[in-house]
Amino acid sequence: EPTTNAIDDTTIFVGTHYHDFLNRQADTTAGSATNASGYQRAFVRPPAGPLKDIGSLGGNTAEAYDINGSGQVVGASEASGGGSLDDRAFIWQSDTMQALTATWGTPVRADGINEAGLVVGSATHNTSGTHAFLWKDTNGNGQSDPGEVNIFGNSGGSRGSS
């Protein structure tokens, strides 16, 4: 049994959403922690509840990088246990983790999500290296559909879309 609060553990990265910023009333926390098997796992924690492992995209590890007020969590997960070269960006919502996909390449890390549900991160383009991406669920189905992940070049200008 640990003698310290899990939040004090240096292996945990914590991101907290505050539903009332002025009073600093925490809503839900998201982050990553090392499990008993030694793997980094993404978690959510409601204000009065235990850590909940939110799963992976088939691999051993997953890390959560941001959470918004709707409880949507974004991060990176191994897709099939193949290591960091097999990482995929994800969004977790309604107790389901889903990979963000694109026809032009592979979104590998989702770094942030805002209150409107817009996701930003980095992606590997099939022919031109690593670029920033923006995902917007334009049809509102909660899934990554063709045309919803846009890639941006180093200068911030649009380079195309899926």
Quick one: pLDDT band at residue 162, thresholds 50, 70, 90? very low
Q: Is the distance from CB of 15 to CB of 33 less than 8 angstroms?
A: no
Percentage of the chain beyond pLDDT 70 is 75
Q: Is 42 helix (H, G, I), strand (E, B) or coil?
A: strand
pLDDT at position 81 is: 55
Mean predicted confidence (pLDDT) in 136-141: 87
Rounded to whole angstroms, how far apart are CA atoms 52 and 25?
20
Mean predicted confidence (pLDDT) in 151-161: 47
